[in-house]
Amino acid sequence: MGNAPANELSEKSIETRRIATAVGAEVKGIDLKRPLSSAQVEDLHRALGENGILLFRNAELTPEQHVAFSSQFGELEAHVIGDFALPGRPEIFVVSNVKEDGKLKGAVYAGQYWHSDLSYMKTPSLGSLLLCREMPEIGGDTMFANMYMAYDTLSETIKQFIGGLSAVHDYSHAYDTYFAHLKERPPLTAEARARTPPVEHPMVRVHPVTRRRALYVNPGFTKGIVGMPKEESQPILEMLFRHSTRQEFIYRHKWQVNDMIFWDNRCVMHYALADYDFSVRRHMHRTTIAGK
Ligand code: OGA
Ligand code: MN
């Protein structure tokens, strides 16, 4: 980003256009390669909280520019599994089925279940910026679910019931379930496990920007409810998962190369569809904004 002049300040610092009923706005009118004004950063934070995901088309950014753009929204966080990072760029998490010299270039089968990134950390992520580098012509979409809507449409009785509860999130849950039979995702190493002990988070969180309540449990990493045996918690969690993935809460994005999506991990879940030919290259770069 260097010494490039900052984006011009204007009365309307960004332009947004809603792209779906449930989640999503496309952002125009900014140069992704130049520093943002503080008004633009603030407006983008607001637009993110209000729309759940922000789509930037034609984001032809180098890894350095991707990192520089992302850093304006908060501190970047490296993934617990270093093998998935872009060599020399720990801030970039590679999601890829591409192999080089027999070795995968990133995390394969990443996110092929509903989840919110890093909900298994003590301080979960604010948001992630995924940049599409290569995409099969058919398939490989990503879905996003609006967790404000999920919360708002629960009955008052359930809202009250879960309002005082916390859930247990654990990275190893994904390994025990979704990754269990995949040789490309061997069990977590003792070191990765030590860095991701089970954590507890309230089942309902108030978004710090919009002040709206969002449901905060996800099938990928939420494995129980604090103070309940599995026999009790599992049916409740399953009901909440089924409810929060109703079709009217979902936006399904068909990727074009150089699309970048900034999603809000505090109020949306996402799901990478595994409906494409795995011999065709699908290659993505993600930066992750730390939460507070
Ligand atoms: C992720 C993820 C989705 C995708 O990078 O966090 O879940 O569509 N990926 O690759
Ligand atoms: Mn993810």
Residues with CB under 5 A from ligand 2 (ion): 111, 117
pLDDT of residue 44: 98
State the catalytic residue, choosing from 79, 115, 213, 282.
115
Backbone angles phi, psi at 192, to 5 degrees: -65, -40
pLDDT of residue 8: 55
Q: Which ligand is nearest to the CA of 130?
A: 1
Distance of CA 74 to the CA centre of its chain: 15
Residues of the chain with pLDDT under 50: 1-2
Q: Is 170 in the pocket of ligand 1 (CB under 6 A)?
A: no
pLDDT of residue 2: 47
pLDDT of residue 83: 87
270 a catalytic residue: yes
Distance of CA 115 to the CA centre of its chain: 8
CA distance 83 to 104: 9
Backbone region of residue 287 per phi and psi (left: phi > 0; alpha: psi in -120 to 50; beta: other values): beta
pLDDT of residue 1: 45
pLDDT of residue 248: 97
pLDDT of residue 161: 98
State the catalytic residue, choosing from 43, 45, 79, 117.
117
Mutational test site, ligand 1, from 130, 221, 265, 275, max ligand atoms within 8 Å of CB:
130
pLDDT of residue 181: 85
pLDDT of residue 37: 97
State the catalytic residue, choosing from 79, 270, 282, 285.
270
pLDDT of residue 11: 63
pLDDT of residue 158: 98
Residue of the CA atom closest to atom 1 of ligand 1: 111
